[in-house]
Amino acid sequence: MDPGAAIIQYDCVNTANNYWTLWSPNSNGLYVVSSQSGLGLNVRGASFLNGAQIIQYNCDRVGATLWHRRDSAQIPGTFQLWNENSDKCLNVQGASTANGAPIIQYDCVTTLNNAWRLADYSRGTMSRRLIARLGAVLALLLIATLTVTTPSSAVSGPYHIVSVSSGKCANVQGASTQLGAPIIQYNCSLSFTNDDWYLNADQFGYFHISSRSSGQCMNVRGASTDPGAAIIQYTCIADAKNESWFPFHPIEGDPSYELVSANSGMCLNVPGASNDIGVALIQYNCVSAPNNRWNLVPA
């Protein structure tokens, strides 16, 4: 992870630093989060000036990291991204078509270098390439050589997934091997394996989280997009978005993660910030509260 790395445009190649997740932490804006680093698009220094560099930075719910999407009637199939803090738009400097051209903020005028579209890939609609509508089709790329702040090998672990609020571990209830068994919080144990988890990375920065005891994956039941939907274990399916999770650090300097469902944009959550053992985990709106945050501790 390299907070502060500048954003440029580059050829649309199939690499994680060309892929972005657009999700809303609340009703007031969007994060545009790199699948490579887990950091969001940010206006450097919270500047209000035209030409200010766009960088990657922690998603900290301040205006410089929040964006709004506005469809363009003049350029069909495109939209503008304007910044909550500055009210200026994401822009390719000088309408350049060259690799390496800086991405900046500028007045929201109807020009091609202010217009963007989303290009789907095979996993669905959650993570997309954000592509400039210029003479050459170019994508955003990070200047720095970045490392994902989550475990980066194809399969890593096992880990305990420990709630910041309760200090308890995500656990397969009763060490069940049944499809649909609830994921609960329970006292962390070094003697049992139903609170041990492997993180199975794909090339886009998402993870399947599989149980050491059952071999099944952490899953949002029924691919629900509703707050409060249950978290269960289920057969690991490579393209199942409700089994894909996107970890990132919501608070600068804090090592804990929010685990965001690729399907719903909601976070793994201990309901009511309960400290009780046996409480079933759910998905809920991502608000950076302690019961939405988790530490990965080697098991």
- Which CATH number characterizes residue 269's domain? 2.80.10.50
- The answer on pLDDT for 73 being more than 70 is no
Amino acid 127: pLDDT = 40
Query: Taking residues 249-273, what's their average pLDDT?
Result: 84
Is pLDDT larger for residue 230 or for residue 207? Answer: 230
Q: For 107-224, where are the E strands, in sequence order?
A: 116-121, 124-132, 138-142, 155-163, 169-172, 183-186, 197-201, 207-211, 217-220
- Which of 33-37, 63-67, 176-180, 215-219 has the weakest average pLDDT? 33-37
The mean pLDDT of the chain is 82
Q: What sign does the CA torsion over 52, 56, 57, 59 have? A: positive
Give the bridge partners for 53, in sequence order. 104
Three-state DSSP state, 65: helix
Give the residue numbers spanning the domain of 127: 7-142
- The answer on pLDDT for 76 being more than 70 is no
In a domain, 36, yes or no: yes
Residues 87 and 166 in one domain: no
Amino acid 99: pLDDT = 84
Q: Which of 100, 116, 142 is the last residue of a domain?
A: 142
Residues 137 and 165 in one domain: no
In a domain, 249, yes or no: yes
**Domain count for the chain:** 2
- Which of 62-66, 74-78, 84-88, 104-108 has the weakest average pLDDT? 74-78
Amino acid 74: pLDDT = 63
Amino acid 90: pLDDT = 93
Q: Which of 119, 142, 165 is the last residue of a domain?
A: 142
Give the predicted TM-score (pTM) of the model: 0.56
d(CA 209, CA 256): 16
Most confident range, picked from 32-41, 128-137, 185-194: 185-194
In a domain, 286, yes or no: yes
